[in-house]
Structure 1
Amino acid sequence: MNLGKRTGVTVSLLAMVSALTGCSSAPPLFSADGRPTTLIQCPAYGGWTLCQQNARATCQGASYDVLEQSTDNGQNGLLIACKAQ
């Protein structure tokens, strides 16, 4: 491969990495009272039990508030905010 092609490939790769980095850096979301939120997802076929277990584990055993609950494309989702311990 000559230098011109190698430089073009390098520039293309750098541009793609920069674009992907921009997409993945979303700002954190917070509840109305300022607590950070977490989206817990689990397979819909198992009901809500696995999502609830994951939420408890995320909050390290503390209780949590469910801010939003949804089912889409075979996935259940809970948007939670952990309560203070």
Structure 2
Amino acid sequence: MKRSLSSFARRACATLAIGAVVALGACSSSAPLFLSDGRATTLVQCPAGSDSCSQQANASCGGAFDVVRQSTENGTLNLIYACRAK
């Protein structure tokens, strides 16, 4: 009896783990958004009032970038940007 119970528990844990991986994968697998000119956009979030978002965009693009949309919510700055063509 003890042996079959532990086997059941292992199968149940494995099933839950696989289900969790599938569920998390579905949540994070959204397609990137592109501008009409084909450039990919990126979202960064940082504390409102800091220049961290601009620094991240600048570093990611290797220089110039265009702000597509910017908003502040609950003390967090949301910046969507696209790198300028080189």
Shorter-chain TM-score bucket reads: 0.7 to 0.9
Give the match's secondary structure for 2:37: coil
Percent identity between the two aligned chains: 46
Equivalent-residue separation in structure 2 for 1:81 and 1:70 (angstroms): 16
Equivalent-residue separation in structure 2 for 1:11 and 1:53 (angstroms): 43
Structure 1 position 50, deviation (Å): 2.1
Equivalent-residue separation in structure 1 for 2:35 and 2:50 (angstroms): 22
Q: Which segments of structure 1 move beyond 6 Å, counting only runs of 4 or more? A: none
Residue 58 of structure 1 corresponds to which residue in structure 2? 60
Give the match's secondary structure for 1:2: helix
Equivalent-residue separation in structure 2 for 1:79 and 1:32 (angstroms): 15
Please give the TM-score of this superposition, normalised by the length of structure 2: 0.85
Residue 7 of structure 1 corresponds to which residue in structure 2? 11
Structure 1 position 30, deviation (Å): 0.7
Name stretches of at least 5 consecutive residues in structure 2 with no aligned partner. none
Mapping 1:57-76, distance limit 5 Å: 57-61=59-63, 63-76=64-77
CA deviation profile, 1:60-79 (whole Å, cap 9, x unmatched)? 11x11111000012111110
Mapping 1:40-51, distance limit 5 Å: 40-44=44-48, 47-51=49-53
CA deviation profile, 1:4-23 (whole Å, cap 9, x unmatched)? 12111111111111111111
Q: Which has the larger radius of gyration?
A: 2
RMSD: 1.4
Equivalent-residue separation in structure 2 for 1:53 and 1:69 (angstroms): 15
Give the match's secondary structure for 1:5: helix
